[in-house]
Amino acid sequence: MLTGRRYLLALTPAHTLQQTLRDLERACATHGTFKVRWRSRRTGPPSFRFPDPRQITVERVGRRWGRVRLPKLGWVRFRWTRPLGGVLRNATVRQDGGRWFVSFCVDDGRREADPNGKPPVGVDRGVTVAVATSGGWLRDRQVATPGERARGKRLQQQLARQQKGSARRAATRAKLTRLNARIRDRRTDFAAWTADRLTRAHGLVVVEDLKIGAMTASAKGTLTDPGKKVRQKAGLNRAILAKGWGGLLTTLEHKARYNGSRIVRVPPAYTSQTCAACGHRAPDNRESQAVFRCCACGHRDNADVNAAKNILAAGLAVTGRGDLAAGRSAKRQPPEDEAA
Buried b (16+ CB within 10 A) or exposed e, 3-17: eeeeeeeeeebebbe
Amino acid at 13: P
Amino acid at 327: G
CA distance 128 to 21: 43
Q: Is the four-CA dihedral 31, 268, 143, 259 of positive or negative sign? A: negative
65: left (phi over 0), alpha (psi -120 to 50) or beta: beta
DSSP 8-state secondary structure symbol assigned to residue 42? T
Q: Work out the burial of residue 81: count CB atoms within 10 Å of its CB; fewer than 13 is exposed, 13-18 middle, 19 or more buried.
A: exposed
> What is the chain's alpha carbon radius of gyration, rounded to the nearest angstrom?
25
- Find out whether 224 and 280 touch, Cβ atoms under 8 Å: no
Catalytic residues: 124, 208, 304
DSSP 236-286: HHHHHHHHTHHHHHHHHHHHHHHHT-EEEEE--TTTTTB-TTT--B-GGGB
